[in-house]
Each structure stands twice: as C-alpha cells, then as structure tokens.
Amino acid sequence: GQNIDQPTEMTATEGAIVQINCTYQTSGFNGLFWYQQHAGEAPTFLSYNVLDGLEEKGRFSSFLSRSKGYSYLLLKELQMKDSASYLCASSDSNYQLIWGAGTKLIIKP
C-alpha cells in the first residue's frame, strides 16, 4: 500500500532548530516534496528530493534516505513566522502525490 506518516504537532522555541520527520511507503517512488501551509492559506513549495542526501536552502534543509523510506525537514534559526503546518508528500510512479496529514509546528517566544 501507499502511506505517509509524520508527527501531528511539534513545539519549538524561537531561534532554535527543529527537525520534522516523515516516513513513506510508495510504489514506484519518484521523489519527496515538502510544503508549508499557514493556517487558512494554500500550501507553498519548500523542497524536492529524489536522490539520497541533504539539500540546503537557506534556513531550511531537507534530507532523503530512499533505502529507509525516510525524510526530514530541518528548520534553523526559527522565527515566529515559521509557525505553520508542514506537509510531506511522496511522488508515485505516475507522478501523483501522496500526502501526509501534516505537522503543525508551534513556535514559542
């Protein structure tokens, strides 16, 4: 079957680092996406990984291990505006996205 798991909610402190994990089981895996979604808004693209390893984009980094069916999103120097839900999605053999339920990240001062 196809499945995506990520924690429901996480809390972190402003200025700190947080890692949001995602595990997946996807037939014909074609890559892993991370999106950010602020409350009441549309998801916006953060990152895409198809090869093993770490991709860094400013304060955000994303990691993929295909053999383990595992990814994480790393957010550094947390800011209050990073309070949002973070959605993990895997791409299947038809390039359709299978979405996790999202991780709500709460940032405290």
Partner 1 sequence: IAGITQAPTSQILAAGRRMTLRCTQDMRHNAMYWYRQDLGLGLRLIHYSNTAGTTGKGEVPDGYSVSRANTDDFPLTLASAVPSQTSVYFCASSEGGHNEQFFGPGTRLTVL
Residues 35, 40: Cα–Cα separation, whole Å: 14
CB of 87 to partner 1, least distance (A): 7
Residues 18, 12: Cα–Cα separation, whole Å: 7
| Contact positions vs partner 1 (CB under 8 A) | 4, 30-31, 33, 41-45, 48, 50, 87, 89, 91, 95-102
* Closer by beta carbon to partner 1, 69 or else 100: 100
CB of 15 to partner 1, least distance (A): 29
